[in-house]
């Protein structure tokens, strides 16, 4: 079932309109940024505790157990691992707010006309219902195929023969979708990002992307992206700032990855930071999660 938001339109009528949760977009960014950082640090499989994995991939949690996190430790982990200060986190008794705020993605439709940005407003927008459709499929009982059945041991083959009349030949499934070509809009607000935090944001989006080419960045939204559904192309309002001369970013910032040398130098510096301080980062993560 599509997730819907209940709204009151500008005409005072009640409507249920499909939308994409901003929290799910934020999770994609966090997940991508964490995975990029771990890959840059060449973290070994089996080397991380569950608490560290929870902290990196889902933001951790507050707990009364264990030792308290000091302000010095909090500052240290934010400096060492910028993706945490970018996305915010909770550990032990301490919580750091996120520097990015991701709004819901709302469908461009007549019910949302009252809150559409001016460039998207139109008198002939379709209603939300016209953008909804359904897909269905079947899963077949593969063991009925001779080349598959021969993989089974004798007991399994005999069981199938004995239960032929009771076996399920196929399973039907269906789900709601948004039709291709529908538009959504939303925003990501940034708050005075440091250079490496901007690098963490950029690399997080790129790491989460299914593709990133002249057609834009495609991110996996919802389910079934493995078969071509659940994909959305993102057009950002303007190129990501390429001036890194000041210690922090401020004001309005767009997030489309850029390719000039200044941006590449900062990302390269971010990767070198993660690699050169790998052990220090891992020790600090262990300290704030134990």
Average pLDDT over residues 126-132: 94
Is 65's pLDDT higher than 80? no
Overall pTM > 0.85: no
137 in any annotated domain: no
Pairing of strands 184-185, 170-178: unpaired
Separation of alpha carbons 209 and 164, rounded Å: 45
The neighbouring-strand residues paired with 102 are: 188
Within 10-129, strands assigned E span 14-20, 60-62, 89-92, 94-96, 100-102, 105-107
Instruction: Decide: residue 186, CB within 10 A, 0-12 exposed, 13-18 middle, 19+ buried.
Output: middle
The least confident of 28-32, 63-67, 172-176, 229-233 is 63-67
150 in any annotated domain: no
Work out the pLDDT band at 288, boundaries 50, 70, 90. Answer: confident
166 in any annotated domain: no
Is 31's pLDDT higher than 90? yes
The neighbouring-strand residues paired with 184 are: 107
pLDDT recorded at residue 34: 94
Separation of alpha carbons 265 and 245, rounded Å: 12
Does residue 278 or residue 289 have the better pLDDT?
A: 278
pLDDT recorded at residue 64: 60
Can you read off the two tokens belonging to residue 206? Answer: 């790129």
Among residues 33, 65, 103, the alpha carbon closest in space to that of 267 is found at 33
**pLDDT tens-digit map of 41-55:** 988 888 888 989 998
Q: Which domain holds residue 223?
A: 22-104+182-289
273 in any annotated domain: yes
114 in any annotated domain: no
Separation of alpha carbons 34 and 41, rounded Å: 11
Is 123's pLDDT higher than 60? yes
Total domain count for the chain? 1
Can you read off the two tokens belonging to residue 242? Answer: 């390429």
246 in any annotated domain: yes
**pLDDT tens-digit map of 86-106:** 999 887 777 888 999 999 999
pLDDT recorded at residue 71: 67
127 in any annotated domain: no
pLDDT recorded at residue 240: 46
**Half-sphere exposure (CA, 13 Å, Cβ side) for 243?**
6
Q: Which of the residue ranges 112-126, 215-229, 242-256 has the most confident prediction, judged by mean pLDDT?
A: 112-126
Q: How many helices (H) and strands (E) does the chain have?
A: 9, 14
**pLDDT tens-digit map of 264-280:** 788 889 999 999 999 99
Sign for the CA dihedral angle at 59, 62, 63, 69 comes to: positive
**pLDDT tens-digit map of 246-262:** 333 333 344 544 555 66
Average pLDDT over residues 200-211: 91
41 in any annotated domain: yes
Separation of alpha carbons 202 and 180, rounded Å: 26
CA 289 to chain CA mean position, Å: 23
Is 230's pLDDT higher than 60? yes
Instruction: Decide: residue 17, CB within 10 A, 0-12 exposed, 13-18 middle, 19+ buried.
Output: buried
Work out the pLDDT band at 179, boundaries 50, 70, 90. Answer: very high
Pairing of strands 211-213, 188-190: unpaired
């Amino acid at each position: 079932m599509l997730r819907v938001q209940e709204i009151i339109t500008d005409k005072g009528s009640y409507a249920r309109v499909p939308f994409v949760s901003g929290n799910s977009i934020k999770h994609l960014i966090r997940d991508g940024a964490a995975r990029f950082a771990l890959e840059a640090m060449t973290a070994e499989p089996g080397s991380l505790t569950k608490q560290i994995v929870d902290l990196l991939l889902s933001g951790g949690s507050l707990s009364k157990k264990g030792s308290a996190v000091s302000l010095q430790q909090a500052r240290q982990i934010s400096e060492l691992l910028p993706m945490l200060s970018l996305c915010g986190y909770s550990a032990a008794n301490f919580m750091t707010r996120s520097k990015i705020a991701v709004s819901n993605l709302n469908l461009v439709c007549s019910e949302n006309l009252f809150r559409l940005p001016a460039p998207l407003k139109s008198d002939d927008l379709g209603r939300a219902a016209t953008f909804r459709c359904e897909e269905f499929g079947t899963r077949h009982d593969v063991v009925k195929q001779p080349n598959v059945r021969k993989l089974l041991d004798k007991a399994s083959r005999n069981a199938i023969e004995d239960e032929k009349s009771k076996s399920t030949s196929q399973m039907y499934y269906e789900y709601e979708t948004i039709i291709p070509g529908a538009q959504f809009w939303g925003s990501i607000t940034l708050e005075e990002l440091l250079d490496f935090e901007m690098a963490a944001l950029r690399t997080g989006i790129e790491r989460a992307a299914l593709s990133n080419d002249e057609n834009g960045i495609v991110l996996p939204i919802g389910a079934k992206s493995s078969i071509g559904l659940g994909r959305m192309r993102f057009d950002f309002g303007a190129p990501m700032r390429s001036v890194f001369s000041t210690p922090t970013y401020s004001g309005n910032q767009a997030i489309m990855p850029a390719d000039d040398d200044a941006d590449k130098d900062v990302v390269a510096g971010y990767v070198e930071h993660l690699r050169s301080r790998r052990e220090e980062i891992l020790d600090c993560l262990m300290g704030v999660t134990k």
